[in-house]
Structure 1
């Protein structure tokens, strides 16, 4: 049996978008590396982390907005669709878009791990590759499994060439083009 990849997907992007548009509101679908993935619904702590990050982004960069749960066209040649927990862009960047937006202008994609069996592969491997291939300069992973924050930067050839990983409680400087400092002590309150 031939494995599913971006070159041999389960379905076309158009078929996936049709499927995703008909999914119930309680189901969030993504199309990563040619495979349909069900993304878990966020729990309360997950939502609190995104709200915390939105406040920080507003304080440091009021001209930008961290949009939650945004559908992005990812991977080369638009063969993927990821539903980012957060994406930092200039305000109004998604005006007129449908459910899935291009990544032009996106400065940072954010994922907060969920407590499911696919989180490790999806958020730690597949999402960084997809966001890097889409040219998003920064990928921020807030990992509740190991209570750490990883900042991926310098995308080239579909991979981030640099990453910095720090435990919750550490001050983290997210480099330009984002240019904000995260005091992550508060994340300890949402690790469970």
Structure 2
């Protein structure tokens, strides 16, 4: 994918969306993103990844019934001037935030973007470096990274100048606080069941 990424750094968002739509129609396993001027392929979730997503969706619904954790099928326009497209594993937003919208939504209503690491070679670059920068640049107040490899939950908040000013890491088994506008805490102990 690196060679393709280098060759497509000047690709327009419109061209990317055509390629992503084609890939989605032709393959159940290809999910493309356009972050940092590069096309990337998002790994297909494994069973534990899906279990974590549902576990977190239940927690969000319990604490914030006014919101929904939307799945990765809802893409977001990210980065300066909306030149990027990302598919967070989850987007916490008001219930009707994406009603009537298309495949790639404006992130304005998103209170928190969620990523759950996969066991692939691009996780470090994608989830730990590129995604926080893209979500901060888009003004998403909170980025929650569930890092299975590190055994940590990492909360990024206070987006400023294309980066998050506050980063808090908590090991699985401890309580984590999601700052406002999300505004609730939860225990991360269950995550120990979903790591290799």
Fold-level match, TM-score > 0.5?
Answer: yes
Q: Which structure features the higher share of strand residues?
A: 1
Partner of 2:81, secondary structure, is helix
One of 67, 75, 98 as aligned partner of 1:64: 67
Partner Cα separation in structure 2 for residue 150 and residue 78 of structure 1: 25
| TM-score when normalising by structure 1 | 0.95
Cα offset, 1:4, TM superposition: 9.8
Counterpart for residue 18 of structure 1: 18
Q: What runs of 5+ residues in structure 2 fail to find an aligned partner? A: none
Whether 2:44 is the aligned partner of 1:41: answer yes
Counterpart for residue 181 of structure 1: 185
Task: Tell me if the contact between 1:72 and 1:83 (Cα under 8 Å) persists in the aligned partners.
Answer: yes
Whether 2:150 is the aligned partner of 1:132: answer no
Partner of 2:89, secondary structure, is strand
Task: Tell me if the contact between 2:135 and 2:143 (Cα under 8 Å) persists in the aligned partners.
Answer: yes
Cα offset, 1:25, TM superposition: 2.7
- Which deviations, in whole Å up to 9, do the C-alpha atoms of 1:115-138 show, x marking residues without a partner? 000001100000000000000000
Q: Any runs of at least 4 consecutive aligned residues in structure 1 with deviations exceeding 4 A, and if so which?
A: none
Partner Cα separation in structure 1 for residue 192 and residue 94 of structure 2: 29
Partner Cα separation in structure 2 for residue 22 and residue 4 of structure 1: 16
One of 93, 96, 102 as aligned partner of 1:98: 102
Partner Cα separation in structure 1 for residue 152 and residue 10 of structure 2: 33
- Which deviations, in whole Å up to 9, do the C-alpha atoms of 1:120-165 show, x marking residues without a partner? 1100000000000000000000001111000000001100000000
Counterpart for residue 156 of structure 1: 160
Paired residues, number = 188
Cα offset, 1:10, TM superposition: 4.0
Partner of 1:84, secondary structure, is coil
Partner Cα separation in structure 2 for residue 180 and residue 39 of structure 1: 29
Partner of 1:135, secondary structure, is coil
Query: Do the aligned partners of residues 92 and 36 (structure 1) sit closer, same or farther apart at CA in structure 2, a change above 3 Å counting?
Result: same
| TM-score when normalising by structure 2 | 0.93
